[in-house]
C-alpha cells in the first residue's frame, strides 16, 4: 500500500493553499494531533465534504502493536506484523486545515464485533447525494479465503457506521486495493485490484452493490489506485505492487472520456521508477533506516 500524497506528488515537502492560508505538508514527519501526539492512523483516505468544512480521515488504528525491526512484507500475513492483525479499529480523525498538530480524534467508525472478521485495509468514505448518506468501504483479508469489500452507512462522517453489505459483488471476485469515485451526476464507481489486475466497475445508485458494468486494464502486478475526474477527463492512477515496501513504487496514469473506459496509458509511462540502465538522472538507493527492500516488488519489479 502506498501513501497517497507521496505517490501522487512524488515529493517530500510541498505547500497547499487552504482558505488563503499557506499550509505545508511534510512527508518526512509524522502527523500530530492537537495534543502533539503522533496520530495512530494508517492506510486510510482524506475527504472534505463541504466547502470550508472539516477534513476527515478514516484510517486503520494499530493500537499497541509495534512493528519488528525490518520493514516490508517479509512475513506478510503473519499476526506479528502490524498491518496483518484482525483487531484494528477503523478510526476517524478530523482537521480544519490538514496541518500537523490540527488533527482531532473523533472515534471508532464501527466496532470490530459488528464487522466481518478479517484483516482490514484501505477504508474509503464517500457521500451519496441520492440517499443523503455517507458510505464507508473497506476491504478485508481472510485466511485461506478470497478477500472481500464491506459497505457501511451513517448519517454523518463521524459515524457510527452500520454494516449494510459484508461482500460487495464485484465481477472479478475477491478484492484488493481500491478507490471510489462519485461522479457529478451522483453515480458511484469502484476501481479495484484483483489477482494483480486493475478494474473499474459501476455501483448501484445506493452504492451498496455492483451493477456488473466494468472495464479491465491491461497492466499486471499493480495496486493502490487513485480514481478522479478533472475537466471532464477521468483519471485512473496506480503503480506496481509494493506491499508495505520501503523502496517505493511507480505510478501509471490512464485517462478516458468515460468512467468505464476505454482508458489510454499516458505516453510518459511510469512517472516514478527509474530504469536501472538510466544514468542520466539521480536514482535514490534502496536503503532506509533499519529497512529492507521487499524483493521483486515496486520499482524492483518494474526494472
Q: What is the pLDDT of residues 75-133, one digit of tens each?
A: 555 666 778 888 999 999 999 999 999 999 999 999 999 999 999 999 999 999 999 99
Angle subtended at Cα 237 by Cα 199 and Cα 67, rounded to the nearest 5 degrees? 95
What is the per-residue pLDDT for 79? 67
Under 8 Å between Cβ of 184 and 135: no
The x, y and z cell numbers of residue 261, run together, are 473506459
Backbone angles phi, psi at 215, to 5 degrees: -140, 140
Backbone angles phi, psi at 13, to 5 degrees: -140, 125
Under 8 Å between Cβ of 252 and 265: yes
Most distant CA pair in the chain, distance: 54
299-302 contacts: CB < 8 A, separation 24 or more?
299/240, 299/242, 299/247, 299/248, 299/249, 299/250, 299/272, 299/273, 299/274, 300/247, 301/221, 301/240, 301/241, 301/242, 302/240, 302/249, 302/250, 302/270, 302/273, 302/275
What is the arithmetic mean of pLDDT over 127-143?
96
Q: Does domain 31-302 have CATH number 2.115.10.20?
A: yes
- Please indicate whether residue 292 or residue 82 has the higher confidence score (pLDDT): 82
Angle subtended at Cα 285 by Cα 279 and Cα 291, rounded to the nearest 5 degrees? 165
What is the per-residue pLDDT for 287? 40
Least Cα distance to 245 among 73, 107, 121 occurs for 73
Mean pLDDT for all residues in the chain: 85
| DSSP code of residue 32 | B
Number of helices and strands (H, E) in the chain? 2, 18
Q: What is the pLDDT of residues 58-81, one digit of tens each?
A: 999 988 887 666 555 545 556 667
CB atoms within 10 A of CB 95: 21
Q: Which residues, 6+ apart, have CB-to-CB distance to 20 below 8 Å?
A: none
What is the per-residue pLDDT for 73? 53
Least Cα distance to 237 among 263, 203, 276 occurs for 263
What is the per-residue pLDDT for 11? 40
Q: Determine the Cα–Cα distance for residues 204 and 165; give it in Å rounded to an integer.
A: 13
Q: What is the pLDDT of residues 236-285, one digit of tens each?
A: 999 998 876 767 788 999 999 999 999 999 988 888 787 665 543 334 44
Amino acid at each position: 500500500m502506498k501513501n497517497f500524497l507521496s505517490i501522487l506528488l512524488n515529493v517530500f515537502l510541498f505547500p497547499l493553499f487552504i482558505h488563503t492560508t499557506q499550509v505545508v505538508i511534510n512527508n518526512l514527519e509524522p502527523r500530530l494531533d492537537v495534543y502533539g501526539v503522533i496520530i495512530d492512523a494508517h492506510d486510510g483516505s482524506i475527504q472534505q465534504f463541504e466547502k470550508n468544512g472539516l477534513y476527515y480521515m478514516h484510517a486503520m488504528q494499530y493500537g499497541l502493536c509495534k512493528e519488528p525491526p525490518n520493514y516490508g512484507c517479509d512475513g506478510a500475513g503473519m499476526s506479528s506484523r502490524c498491518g496483518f492483525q484482525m483487531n484494528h479499529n477503523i478510526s476517524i480523525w478530523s482537521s480544519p486545515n490538514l496541518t500537523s498538530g490540527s488533527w482531532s480524534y473523533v472515534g471508532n467508525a464501527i466496532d470490530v464485533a459488528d464487522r466481518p472478521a478479517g484483516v482490514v485495509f484501505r477504508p474509503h468514505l464517500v457521500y451519496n447525494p441520492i440517499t443523503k448518506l455517507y458510505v464507508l468501504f473497506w476491504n478485508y483479508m481472510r485466511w485461506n479465503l478470497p478477500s472481500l469489500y464491506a459497505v457501511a452507512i451513517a448519517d454523518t462522517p463521524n459515524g457510527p457506521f452500520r454494516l449494510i453489505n459484508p461482500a460487495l459483488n464485484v465481477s472479478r471476485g475477491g478484492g484488493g486495493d481500491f478507490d471510489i469515485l462519485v461522479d457529478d451526476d451522483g453515480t458511484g464507481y469502484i476501481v479495484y485490484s484483483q489477482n494483480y489486475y486493475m478494474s473499474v466497475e459501476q455501483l448501484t445508485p445506493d452504492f451498496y452493490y455492483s451493477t456488473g458494468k466494468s472495464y479491465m486494464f491491461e497492466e499486471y502486478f499493480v495496486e493502490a489506485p487513485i480514481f478522479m475526474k478533472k475537466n471532464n477527463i477521468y483519471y485512473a492512477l496506480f503503480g506496481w505492487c509494493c506491499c508495505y515496501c520501503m523502496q517505493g513504487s511507480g505510478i501509471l496514469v490512464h485517462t478516458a472520456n468515460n468512467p468505464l473506459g476505454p482508458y489510454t496509458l499516458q505516453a510518459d509511462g511510469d512517472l516514478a521508477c527509474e530504469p536501472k540502465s538510466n544514468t542520466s538522472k539521480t536514482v535514490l538507493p534502496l536503503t532506509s533506516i533499519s529497512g529492507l527492500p521487499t524483493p521483486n516488488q515496486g520499482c524492483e519489479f518494474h526494472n
